[in-house]
Structure 1
């Protein structure tokens, strides 16, 4: 009988090693949501511990991997999610065949009391997964001259409002202090309540500041009118993408 050409294992970050995991994620075009620092933010804020699903070839080399975490529900099955509180995550891989093998192997090797959710921009149907495509992602290239970027915006919906913002004395700067972070959070709370959306705790942003901002994986942009902060955005960075 032929032996299985690969194995699927579940490991903690301590077993893999943070440097090893982050180097692997970087080599396989991982995003900030694959980085151990992001997983630590989620753990510190919500108590959700990561587990790392690793596919190894017969010679022991890692050919695909995926971070995930278990979410327990009082009603129904628990879920294994890649990754909670993340826009996108999913498998790290060199070829689609390796990713399909990881996903199919996960369906057979994972605990059967779990439902598994993969938040990936790439659809996977191996292992019986169904696809939900109700979300959209958008990207804007900024490696061009400012004039070329502006020309790509809608004349009335965007360009006119940008000009009006400058005319009204608004200015943007990088936030560098905890006071800036608190101003951002005040604006965040106001916006979420106005939209009827849940408000994340300040500890989430404090942990982001400690774990990601301090290591260059996040930045804070604040917009001022006079001496008052009136808007802001927290950017998470993955290589040359924010």
Structure 2
């Protein structure tokens, strides 16, 4: 506590008139509300941080950027664990990307200098952005696909690839129906389909309680919705969408592979884009995609979206830090185990290890 009795968050470190100090989540949210940001995504909402913290107990380290004692920007880090009893600082785990309020490229050097002083406490510091940060180790292996929305759905449809239009005709012949809901039942149905999808791809699923937290903190408060596609009243595909004032984000998707021939995913996106336009959203975010997944890249581009590169910027305490080959081999082993095991294996592995996956 300072002499005034006010809580002090961290110490100042000054380089080239730029200072850095830890701030509170409330200060972070006020800053986001004040700043003009090109794409103010849901990942900037403190409720998103609350969902992650409620499940995984990660501590926040919101790094304020100051000039002449005025808060001009901030980076929201969370402290995450590793399997080897070390800690990382990540902005922001489980998030596709991060816009840094108030960012200026001139901050790169002083930011690196400050963060390097923290490497005695953290084995890795990571910032996920739309741009490379000078002086950091940078990798770009993902993109997001953004679809600017017209005010008229009929105009929007003209941007769809002909394959999308054919698939929609097929979906309509199969009698598919779309339901939007903020109910717990919808979340439970989504989780069941999501488990099937994750097992198919050999990826551990996030703990079920994480989705319960997402429901109570976000969906229930009308900051998102669950879209479910039904065939003969049976749920065959579902997705979770999160909202900001101007953008709708596709965050999680799931489907029953036995019904993919009915084109439920095309049906879902088609009607969600129409719904977004009718509700005056200006941007449809299809979420992150690994560049190596060319099939999914093409699928998202078929809707008329534009790919935007994502960057992961790293600082490491140990120079022998990063090996794509080793990480890929580990993931392949885990995927093989999940794909050839009962669904409970996918679920249990997620419960135990998902918090280390960042």
TM-score band w.r.t. shorter chain:
0.7 to 0.9
Q: Secondary structure at the match of 1:199?
A: coil
Counterpart-to-counterpart distance in 1, 2:239 and 2:110: 35
Aligned to 1:10: 22
Label 1:3 to 1:37 Cα distance change in 2 as closer, same or farther (>3 A). Answer: closer
Q: Which stretch has the larger CA shift, 74-83 or 161-170?
A: 74-83
Q: What TM-score results when the alignment is normalised by the length of structure 1? A: 0.86
- Aligned pair count reads 231
Q: Is the 1:65–1:102 contact (alpha carbons within 8 Å) kept by the matching residues of 2?
A: no
Q: How far does residue 110 in structure 1 lie from its aligned partner after superposition? A: 3.0
Q: How far does residue 202 in structure 1 lie from its aligned partner after superposition? A: 1.4
Q: How far does residue 229 in structure 1 lie from its aligned partner after superposition? A: 1.5
Matched, 1:37 2:43: no
Gaps of 5+ in 2: 1-13, 249-358
Between 1 and 2, higher relative CO (CA 8 Å, sep ≥ 6) is seen in: 2
Q: What TM-score results when the alignment is normalised by the length of structure 2? A: 0.59
Match for residue 79 of structure 1 among 83, 88, 108? 88
Counterpart-to-counterpart distance in 1, 2:111 and 2:105: 11
Matched, 1:159 2:162: no
Q: CA RMSD in A?
A: 2.3
Counterpart-to-counterpart distance in 2, 1:105 and 1:36: 27
Q: How far does residue 180 in structure 1 lie from its aligned partner after superposition? A: 1.0
Aligned to 2:8: none
Match for residue 148 of structure 2 among 128, 141, 152? 141
Aligned to 2:108: 100
Aligned to 1:123: 132
Counterpart-to-counterpart distance in 2, 1:155 and 1:37: 39
Counterpart-to-counterpart distance in 1, 2:218 and 2:24: 20
Q: Secondary structure at the match of 1:134?
A: strand
Q: Secondary structure at the match of 1:133?
A: strand
Matched, 1:65 2:79: no
Label 1:136 to 1:25 Cα distance change in 2 as closer, same or farther (>3 A). Answer: same
Q: Secondary structure at the match of 2:21?
A: strand
